[in-house]
Amino acid sequence: MTRFLRSLFGQVVAALVLGVAIGLLWPDFAVSLKPLGDAFIKLIKMAIAPLVFGVVVHGIVSAGDLRKVGRVGLKSLIYFEAVTTLALALGIVLAYLFEPGLGMNVNPASLDGAALAGYTSHVKEVTSTVDFLMKLVPTTLVDAFAKGDILQVLIIAILFGSGLSLLGERGKPLADSLERITEVLFKIIGFIVRLAPLGVLGAVAFTVGKYGVGSLKQLGMLVALFYAGVAFFVFVVLGTILRFAGFNILKFLAYLREELTVVAGTASSDSVLPQVMRKLERLGIKDSTVGLVIPTGYSFNLDAFSLYLTLATVFIAQATNTPLSFGHLLLILGIALLTSKGAHGIPGSAIVVLAATLSAVPEIPVIGLVLVLSIDWFVGIARALGNLIGNCVATVVIAAWEGDIDRQRARRVLDGEVATDTAELLEAPIADAPRAA
């Protein structure tokens, strides 16, 4: 037990249990602990943009062949579209099989839309494909880093890395300097990660203290169905995909247990992005592949989010007695494919993107979003977990597709033959990361 509590995983689990207990016993005090969770996530986000820039630039320069970088990017986008389409379709199937909203008989006129005011102002950010594509282009180099927009930073990093790679030997001193700066950032993240137990304690205590378990009762069927859907998608769909790549989903999840526990406590996959990138490198995947797939996936490969998008849309239609034809379902699927790509980085992204999706289907009352506001945090935990797992699986699959993974090392790591403590990995030099043959 002492050894377990000394590990980061053990400390996070203990903090999670303690947070639940404080939330149940002293709810008022628990609510006051919210800054602990918020501060932890802000500390992580502080370093993400420059870290992604450094990792991607280093990966492109290390790869040498720019055609290979483009090939990895194209394969990633193809994979993302295929898998998120499966997730969107699964959400519709689950909603029609189990009908979680049937019998609620909610009159849209009786719903108070005041609670939606803070979300609807962002709807325009995701409703237009052209606007979304334009949003990918940063106003200035500094602006992208100041806002922490990962996609914009990724585009800058790809351009910068490509230019630096073409300089050859003349660009080597700058490439070496960027590598050292990135190592420093990883060490900073290593310090912050040791605060994860406090962040989880604050986030969990606040949630339980403010909302309580009772807030799940009214919409319990939707919450339970979504969690079951995410579990099915992870273990069956992603498990099968990973099996074709030659790996076991259970061993893979056990390898990521520390990161998954932090995500479960904070309901944010951003909180573990740097750790996950380093862990995937230590699994034997080339850093150039990790640097391209993971940041891109955070905006283009939101598997659990996509599942929730269609499930919640059909749930609202059922709850408000809105009949949907097969044509409506195809429209929802098509619109969701576009709106889901603009989710990352928008405040209250799930509600905002749901509003954008419903706006494109006039038959479903947008005011029905009020029905799912109270459970957004609880389903947000499963969304964050499913999204993270989906992106990690995508990285392994694309690396296997490209031959960018050392399979022998990966199996040794997943079998527990190689020690992989998260804090130690973050503090290790980038040069120590294995390279695939």
Domain boundaries, the chain: 2-432
DSSP H helices, 212-256, are: 220-232, 239-244, 249-255
The pLDDT assigned to 332 comes to 81
Determine the pLDDT at residue 201: 86
pLDDT at residue 433 in the model: 46
What per-residue confidence (pLDDT) applies to 113?
58
Q: Quick one: DSSP state of residue 285? A: B
Q: Which residues pair with 285 in a beta bridge?
A: 405
pLDDT, residue 431, reads 46
According to the model, what pLDDT value does residue 386 have?
94
Q: What are the beta bridge partners of residue 218?
A: none
What fold, for 2-432? Proton glutamate symport protein (1.10.3860)
What is the predicted pLDDT for the residue at 183?
83
Would you state the pLDDT for residue 347?
45
* Predicted local confidence at residue 73, as pLDDT: 82
In tens digits, the chain (437 residues) has pLDDT values of 676 677 777 888 888 888 888 888 888 898 888 888 888 878 877 877 888 788 778 777 876 667 777 888 889 889 998 999 999 999 999 998 998 888 777 777 666 555 555 555 555 554 455 666 677 788 888 888 887 777 788 788 888 888 888 888 888 889 888 888 888 888 887 788 788 888 888 887 887 777 665 555 557 788 899 999 999 999 999 999 999 999 999 999 999 998 998 888 887 887 788 889 889 999 999 888 888 888 888 878 889 988 998 999 889 888 888 888 888 888 888 777 776 665 554 445 677 777 777 776 778 887 777 778 767 777 888 999 999 999 999 999 999 998 889 999 999 999 887 765 555 555 555 544 444 43
Count Cβ atoms within 10 A of the Cβ of residue 244 and give its class: 0-12 exposed, 13-18 middle, 19 or more buried.
exposed
Rounded to two decimals, what is the model's pTM?
Answer: 0.78
Please report the pLDDT score of residue 435 as a whole number: 44
First CA to last CA distance, the chain: 39
pLDDT for residue 348: 53
What per-residue confidence (pLDDT) applies to 1? Answer: 63
Distance CA 249, CA 63 (A): 28
Coil, helix or strand for 212? coil
∠ CA(87), CA(88), CA(91), 5° rounding? 90
